Amino acid sequence: MRCQKASPSRKEETGKSSKDPSMTTAQKGVAVVAARMIPVYIMGREYEVPEGLTIMKAMEYAGFQFIRGCGCRGGICGGCGTVYRKPGDYRIYVGLACQNVVEPNMVLTQMPFYPANRASYDFEKIRPIPEEIFKLYPELFRCLGCNACTKVCPMEIQVMDVVSALKQGNITEAAILSFSCIQCGLCVSRCMGELPQYHIFQLARRIYGGKIAPRAKHLDDMVKKVSEGKYEKGLRELMKIDGEELKKLYQKREIEPIMAEENWKPADTRYL
């Protein structure tokens, strides 16, 4: 495996230090282990990128700089929804640029935003019944059941089933099925009925979480303890301690073992 470094004198070439934030990854002269270079087509134009990179890193390698359509880089913010096709294949493929790895000859584009109608509502006034959703999003009933939304979801949510559950008035089912939704908007872009799926689903999850799901009793108990001032004494003592002493206390702290028994207790039980 030949180790191929990019030109050592990047600074001479660009006049910038490698710590300069305006340098792209490629310019920084990061040592590139001899990955095979493959062609990808970004918005119709061919670029040679090292295989094994994610789409996002490959685009940055090619010189693109993300100021939109990039967020957590961890597959959860929904900013980098990407649509692509492969040669000789009519199908549409989707992924997240920060997660999916480049494939040779893929033809891709990004969908950082797709307009979706968002109803405004006062959540306090919303009752936990399906009619509240019907009132705010009547386009829900324009769903044709074509399933285009499901096919295009990068989180593999059964999007059509969620819409179906809502039409049947089942908010709980809709909330559970749409749990992984990252609001990337790809479903909205393909919807023939012009539904704003992720906005509707978010309303369903809000109603479920805030007004339908049973409240956690242990949470209520804890809140009661806190508001009764059970932890006041301990907290006030901590607040009096100075920085160095605090650091020592933190480093000496007892940590619950990962596989602790149900009834594990720390040695110091003063503050329990």
Partner 1 sequence: MIIDVLPRREINSAKKIEEVSGQNLSLCYQCGLCAGGCPAGFAMDLLPNQVLHLAQLGMWERITGSKTAWLCASCFVCTVRCPRGVDIAKLMEAVRCITLRQNINYVEPSKIAAETLAELPQVALVSSFRKHTA
Partner 2 sequence: MDLSYYPGCTLKTKARNLADSTVASMAALGVNLVELPRWNCCGAVYGLTEDNLLHQLAPVRNLIRVREQGYSRVVTICSQCYHVLKRANRLMRTDPEKRKTVNSFMDEGVDYRGEVEVVHLLEVLRDDIGWKNLAQAVKIPLRGLKVAPYYGCTLLRPREIALDSPEMPTILDDLLHALGATPVYFPASTRCCGSFQVVADPDFTARCSREILDSALLSGAEALALSCPLCSFNLGSSQKELSQLHSDIRVVPVLYFTQLLAISLGLIPEVCRFELNDDESRLILQSKGILGEVPVETGKQG
Q: Which residues bind partner 1 (CB under 8 A)?
A: 131-132, 134-135, 138-139, 141-142, 144, 167-169
In 45-129, where does DSSP find H-type helix?
A: 55-61
Say if CB 208 and CB 178 are below 8 A apart. no
In this structure, are residues 55 and 82 in contact, taking their beta carbons and an 8 Å threshold? yes
Residues whose CB is less than 8 angstroms from the CB of residue 29 and which lie 6 or more positions away in sequence, other chains included: 5, 6, 7, 8, 10, 18
Position 142 contacts partner 2 (CB under 8 A): no
Using CA atoms, how far residue 248 sits from 237, 242, 270, in Å, is: 15, 10, 18
| Residue 169 vs 266, nearer CB to partner 1 | 169
CB closer to partner 1, 129 vs 212: 129
Complex with partner 1: residue 4 or 168, whichever CB lies closer:
168
Q: Which residues touch 70 (CB under 8 Å, ≥6 apart)? A: 56, 79, 80, 97, 98, 112
Shortest Å, Cβ 105 to partner 2: 24
Tell me the per-residue interface mask from 164 to 203 with partner 2, x by CB under 8 A, - otherwise.
x--xxxx---------------------x-----------
- Cα separation of 196 and 183, whole Å? 10
> Using CB distances below 5 to 8 A depending on partner kind, what does residue 145 bind out of partner 2, partner 1, none?
partner 2
Number of amino acids touching partner 2 (CB under 8 A): 17
Binding residues vs partner 2 (CB under 8 A):
129-131, 143-147, 151, 160-161, 164, 167-170, 192
